[in-house]
């Protein structure tokens, strides 16, 4: 199962107690105080590591504590500091206060290491309490307690492109031909139950991350299907590739409209995320029919097809419908970056899509 939320109690270490001790030596009758300080308790750190991709290693752990500091000793010896506890998490992990729900840390960048809880301070030994009125203090400070905190760790996927579409439209098939990911592909709905990341290589120097996400259906923002679980995952993708299936029993306009609607109902921010559209499975009908359907679809959305561009189409066999930005004009709000008919089985326009997405995410 894909673990994306874990409850934990973390405890930083208690400080070691200060020591009460007096100097003893042959011929020294009443030596002064020489009790050393206790060591500081271990702190709790979080560290982001790209090589972990789930929170599953933390699953089942209820409490994680750092070591306490050692008590001070005589002869002015300090107690040893408690060992820090470093908790490794994948990028995209948020640490939320379990009681208040407040967001405490948002860990995104690889290698980030943040101190979350300080260890308790060690107590001062009695050597600090000598004064003219009290030359033999029998008092030393206790160490301060560590801090306990109930937290919730939540992981959200980070990807450059998130694949958004109804179940069975070919999302997993697309990621399997463009990237190194090998997700399960099958001819039924909800094959994909957990998101998968894949690296799409453009050339030796450039690549981007694509996320295959479970299918979304109408009502997802109310929790239908995999619902909110799903929407939570795409929140962290930089761009969206909305995939509509030309051969599906659901009309293309219906698929597109509900997808946009669900995104919008989930959050305003998601609905304004830059996006492009892929029309999938165009191998299932003759080319003329594909062209006609695609053009009808585009016009029904109120986007203007530019005939010049339509023909040039990035040397693709099927037309690439590029929009205003290619002329250096600002993209009108809500307009897709491009609309590209594809087939992942017959490999139509799949390389065109690879490069078009590459340009898109690098903008």
Ligand X SMILES: Nc1nc2c(ncn2[C@@H]2O[C@H](COP(=O)(O)OP(=O)(O)OP(=O)(O)O)[C@@H](O)[C@H]2O)c(=O)[nH]1
Q: Which residues form the interface with ligand X (CB under 6 A)?
A: 165, 167-173, 185-187, 189-192, 214-215, 280-281, 283-284, 343-345
**Binding residues with Mg ion: total (CB under 5 A):** 3
State which of residues 172, 176, 316, 320 lies at the interface with Mg ion (CB under 5 A).
172
Comparison of 211 and 309: residue with beta carbon closer to ligand X: 211
Rounded Cα gap, residues 142 and 338, in angstroms = 67
Q: How far is the CB of 182 from Mg ion (least distance, A)?
A: 12
Nearer to ligand X, 136 or 182 (CB): 182
Which option in ligand X, Mg ion, none does residue 344 bind, with CB closer than 5 to 8 A by kind?
ligand X
**Block residue for tokens 């943040």:** 114
**Cβ closer to ligand X: 160 or 245?**
245
* Contact indicator for 223, 265 with CB cutoff of 8 Å: no
Closest CA to 175 of 166, 185, 189: 185
Query: Mask of contacts with Mg ion, 114-153, x by CB under 5 A?
Result: ----------------------------------------
- 221 lies in the binding site for Mg ion (CB under 5 A): no
Closest to 295 measured CA to CA, from 284, 283, 311: 311
Q: How far is the CB of 149 from Mg ion (least distance, A)?
A: 38
For residue 298, the SS3 value is: helix
Strand partners, 9: 63, 150
**CB under 5 A: which stretch of 185-193, 287-295, 325-333, 335-343 binds Mg ion?**
185-193
Looking at the Cβ atoms of 69 and 167, the one nearer to ligand X is 167
- For residue 184, report the phi and psi dihedrals to the nearest 5 degrees: -75, 135
Residue with Cβ nearer ligand X (117 or 169): 169
Asked if residues 162 and 97 have their Cβ atoms less than 8 Å apart, the reply is no
Q: How far is the CB of 277 from ligand X (least distance, A)?
A: 15
Alpha carbon 308 to chain centroid, angstroms: 40
Residues 188-207 that bind Mg ion (CB under 5 A): 191-192
Residue 248 belongs to what H/E stretch? none
Provide the minimum distance between the beta carbon of 247 and ligand X in the complex, in angstroms, as a whole number. 7
Closest to ligand X by CB, 89 or 279: 279
Instruction: Report, in Å, the least distance between residue 178 CB and ligand X.
Output: 12
Q: Are 142 and 20 in contact (CB under 8 A)?
A: no
Given ligand X, Mg ion, none, residue 345, with its beta carbon under 5 to 8 Å by kind, binds ligand X
- Asked whether the beta carbons of 65 and 10 are under 8 A apart, the reply is yes
Least Å distance, CB 232 to Mg ion, is 17
Cα dist from 288 to 245, 283, 285, 292, whole Å: 17, 11, 8, 6
With respect to ligand X, which residue has the nearer C-beta, 36 or 225? 225
Which helix (DSSP H) or strand (DSSP E) does residue 310 occupy? helix 307-312
Q: How far apart are CA 309 and CA 305, in angstroms?
A: 8
161 forms bridges with which residues in the sheet? 210, 239
Residue 215 CB, shortest distance to ligand X, in Å, is: 3
Give the interface with Mg ion as residue ranges (CB under 5 A). 172, 191-192
């Amino acid at each position: 199962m894909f673990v994306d939320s874990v409850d934990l109690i973390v405890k930083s270490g208690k400080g070691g107690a200060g020591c009460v001790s007096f100097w003893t030596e042959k011929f020294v009758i009443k030596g002064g105080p020489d009790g050393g300080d206790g060591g500081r308790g271990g702190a709790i750190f979080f560290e982001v590591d790209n090589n972990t991709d789930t929170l599953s290693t933390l699953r089942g752990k209820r409490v994680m504590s750092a070591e306490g500091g050692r008590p001070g000793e005589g002869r002015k010896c300090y107690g040893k500091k408690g060992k820090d506890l470093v908790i490794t998490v994948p990028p995209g992990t948020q640490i939320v206060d379990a009681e208040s729900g407040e967001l405490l840390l948002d860990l995104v960048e690889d290698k980030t290491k943040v101190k979350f809880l300080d260890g308790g301070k060690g107590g001062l030994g009695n050597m600090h309490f000598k004064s003219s009125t009290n030359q033999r203090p029998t008092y030393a400070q206790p160490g301060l307690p560590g801090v306990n905190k109930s937290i919730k760790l939540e992981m959200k996927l980070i990807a450059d492109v998130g694949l958004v579409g109804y179940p069975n439209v070919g999302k997993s098939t697309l990621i399997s031909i463009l990237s190194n990911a090998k997700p399960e592909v099958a001819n039924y709905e909800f094959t994909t139950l957990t998101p998968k990341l894949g690296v799409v290589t453009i050339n030796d120097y450039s690549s981007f991350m694509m996320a295959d996400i479970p299918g979304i259906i109408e009502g997802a923002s109310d929790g239908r299907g995999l619902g909110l679980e799903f929407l939570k995952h795409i929140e962290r993708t930089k761009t969206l590739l909305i995939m509509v299936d030309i051969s599906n029993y659901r009309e293309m306009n219906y698929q597109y409209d509900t997808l946009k609607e669900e995104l919008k109902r989930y959050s305003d921010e998601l609905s304004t995320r830059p996006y492009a559209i892929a029309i999938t499975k165009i191998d299932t009908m003759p080319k003329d029919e594909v062209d006609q359907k695609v053009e009808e679809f585009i016009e029904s959305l109120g986007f203007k097809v530019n005939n010049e561009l339509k023909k040039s189409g990035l040397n693709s066999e099927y037309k690439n419908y590029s929009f205003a930005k290619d002329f250096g004009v600002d993209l009108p709000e809500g307009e897709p970056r491009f609309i590209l008919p594809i087939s992942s089985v017959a490999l139509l326009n799949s390389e065109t899509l690879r490069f078009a997405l590459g340009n898109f995410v690098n903008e």
